[in-house]
Amino acid sequence: MENNSSFKYPISISDAINNIVERKYLLPAIQRKFVWSSEQIEVLFDSIMRGYPINSFMMWNVTSNETKVNYKFYEFLTHYKAFFHDENPYFETKGHRDFLAVIDGQQRLTSLYIGLKGTYAYKMPRKWLKDDPECLPPRKLYINLSSELHDDERGKVYDFRFLTENEASKLSTSEDIFLVGDILLYRDPDSLDDYMSSRVWKEASFAKKTLRKLRRVIFDERLINYYQEENQDIDTVLDIFIRTNSGGEPLSFSNLLMSITTANWKKDARQEFKSLINAVYANNFIISSDLILKCCLVLFNDNIKFQVANFDIKSVTVFDQNWDRIRKCIEVSFELLKKWGFNDSSLRAKNAIIPIVYFIYHKNIENQILKDNQYQDEKANMRKWLCISLLKGVFGGQSDNVLSGIRKVLKNNISYNIFPFEQIKAEFAHNDAKSLSLSDEVIEDILKTQKDTPNCYAVLALLYSHLHYDSVLYDKDHLHPASKFEKLKESDFSDVSIYEFYTNHENWNSILNLQLLSQSTNRSKNDGSLKEWVTENNIDLESQLIPTDVSLDFDKFPEFIAKRKTLLMTTIKSIIGA
């Protein structure tokens, strides 16, 4: 059969935008998500204004009814919102007219479309990621008509920038700014001249020259060059996509694998993954598609590397058929971590959860594991594994080798009820970098961990393994209150070395002076002295890992720290079996 694939006559940007609006351009399921930053979009528009080429595009001319029925396609994003609205809307193509699916050029076309027709919302600094305008205000693309840029660090000449409505309003009082999308109102150059004659510009010559050029590059110049592929075989198109995209940016290899997975998945994999990512986010953890794909591999494949061969139709069919349980196990694993007091900040290596997902899945206990007073020994061992793996940083570097070793142990011991912590420990006993054993020197360093560092909670959760985590939430709390140390002055001490000991963060703000307290108990403790709190509340010293053979008075703090260090070192060794 003759292949009529070829380069087509170039079209204008406005024609391309109209094709997107009219669903003549769609995105195939193999495409990854839109990933360009607002700065990249601004630079793209600057490049177009300066006459730089924007490279050719590749389109797949979809004419087969079978393809339209059996394959998934998506619309372009109009209103991008980081994390919360970064997935393209699904578009039903059954019965739809013939259309072009974008094989190469999605990022550029989406950028043009958002810049001219949409909004871009990225997170404000120092804000917790949250789906509201305060954290993610929508921004539109503007161009400053007052002057060219000089010494711009990105090399821009034209001052394109995304602004919120409030930012645009404030800037308009000192500069002439123009909403880039409004240029679409002026296809006819005379209409643009009429508009400009009605305005008073601070720099009229530059402003008019810039707007006329913007109109020309959008309407008159044929900047969209594209190759049109006519072959209707999906596997052939997938091969073209891989060849076209695997060497370029910003498509990473894991993005490529996600595209291949999506192409071979009967369900809407993109939507399923996004739904799971949102569910996990509701428990205060942020995960990626990469982690989900890695979970799928570890659950079913001996070879767990991100390789194209591991995502063939046979493998992906297994993932697809078992997806409901896979999703459930990932979800409940993160719910477990939340119950244990972890959050996204304290879970420094997301891969550490994969062995927990594996155990829950292959023990078929996803519907029972969250229940109070069930599988307590299993949960205790899983929590121990999690804490120590985070503290030792076992997933730094060759994480696939670590996961493969753990998977082998889990697979060989899955018939036993208990999570095989000891067997995992034995597997890596001769690998110093990945060993779960802790030397005295390492334990001493761990005990210096400061209260607000990411590893702090993992250390305390390990030390306080005996607490009941199923139904109680715990806070990190100073034993001797922080307020007492923060108010100290050198004049309070006759010996400067004692003053330095009291004010040394490694003593008063480290694990040595920290405990886990239930949230209700912590609120009632406030900043009262340690001795009064223990006495008035009849605190069980052993349970709170408070030494019994030393005074709890504040003026005996050095002796207290020395005793507690010994107690905590002994406790950690007992827990890990060192």
Cβ contact 218:14 at 8 Å: yes
| 132 Cβ contact partners less than 8 Å away, ≥ 6 residues apart | none
Strand runs labelled E in 29-128: 57-62, 73-74, 79-81, 90-91, 99-104, 119-121
* Cα–Cα distance, 450 to 278 (Å, whole number): 31
| Neighbouring C-beta atoms of residue 272, cutoff 10 Å | 18
If you search the block for the tokens 């005074």, which residue do you land on? 551
- Which pLDDT value is given to residue 524? 66
| 235 Cβ contact partners less than 8 Å away, ≥ 6 residues apart | none
* Cα–Cα distance, 323 to 303 (Å, whole number): 19
* Cα–Cα distance, 207 to 110 (Å, whole number): 27
- Which pLDDT value is given to residue 411? 94
* Cα–Cα distance, 307 to 405 (Å, whole number): 18
Which residue type sits at 4? N
Please report how many Cα atoms fall inside a 13 Å half-sphere around the Cα of residue 73, on the Cβ side.
27
The encoded tokens of residue 389 equal: 């793996």
* Cα–Cα distance, 223 to 52 (Å, whole number): 10
* Cα–Cα distance, 500 to 480 (Å, whole number): 16
Which residue type sits at 437? S
- Which pLDDT value is given to residue 2? 56
Strand runs labelled E in 409-513: 474-478
- Which pLDDT value is given to residue 258? 81
**CA nearest neighbour of 154 among 56, 45, 33:** 45
Cα maximum dimension of the chain: 96
Q: What is the Cα 166 distance to its own chain's centre?
A: 28
- Which pLDDT value is given to residue 234? 76
- Which pLDDT value is given to residue 1? 47
* Cα–Cα distance, 13 to 23 (Å, whole number): 15
Cβ contact 82:121 at 8 Å: yes
Q: 562: part of which helix (H) or strand (E)?
A: helix 557-576
The encoded tokens of residue 525 equal: 């403790």
Cβ contact 392:438 at 8 Å: yes
- Which pLDDT value is given to residue 523? 67
- Which pLDDT value is given to residue 522? 65
**CA nearest neighbour of 174 among 204, 139, 202, 199:** 202
- Which pLDDT value is given to residue 142? 98
Residue 251's SS3 state is coil
Long-range contacts of 264-270 (CB under 8 A, 24+ apart): 264/311, 264/312, 264/313, 264/316, 264/317, 264/320, 265/316, 265/319, 265/320, 266/320, 267/320, 267/323, 268/72, 268/90, 269/29, 269/320, 270/29, 270/33, 270/74, 270/87, 270/88
- Radius of gyration from C-alpha coordinates of the chain: 30
Q: 275: part of which helix (H) or strand (E)?
A: helix 269-281
Cβ contact 326:274 at 8 Å: no
> For residue 436, with 0-12 CB atoms within 10 Å meaning exposed, 13-18 middle and 19 or more buried, which class applies?
buried
| Neighbouring C-beta atoms of residue 42, cutoff 10 Å | 24
Q: What is the Cα 517 distance to its own chain's centre?
A: 30
Domain ranges of the chain: 6-229, 252-437, 444-456+468-576
The pLDDT profile of the chain, 578 residues, written as one tens digit per residue, is 456 788 999 999 999 999 999 999 999 988 888 999 999 999 999 999 999 998 899 999 999 998 898 788 999 999 999 989 998 999 999 999 999 999 999 999 999 999 999 999 999 998 888 999 999 999 999 999 999 888 777 789 999 999 999 999 999 988 999 999 999 999 999 999 999 999 998 899 999 999 999 999 999 999 999 999 998 887 778 778 777 765 444 445 677 778 778 877 878 888 899 999 999 999 999 999 999 999 999 999 999 998 878 888 888 999 999 999 999 999 999 999 999 999 999 999 999 999 999 999 999 999 999 998 889 999 999 999 999 999 988 887 678 999 999 999 999 998 877 899 999 999 998 887 788 888 899 999 999 999 999 999 999 999 999 888 877 888 899 999 999 999 999 998 899 999 999 999 999 999 999 999 887 776 666 777 899 999 988 999 999 999 999 999 999 999 999 999 999 999 999 998 76
The encoded tokens of residue 39 equal: 């700065």
* Cα–Cα distance, 103 to 238 (Å, whole number): 9
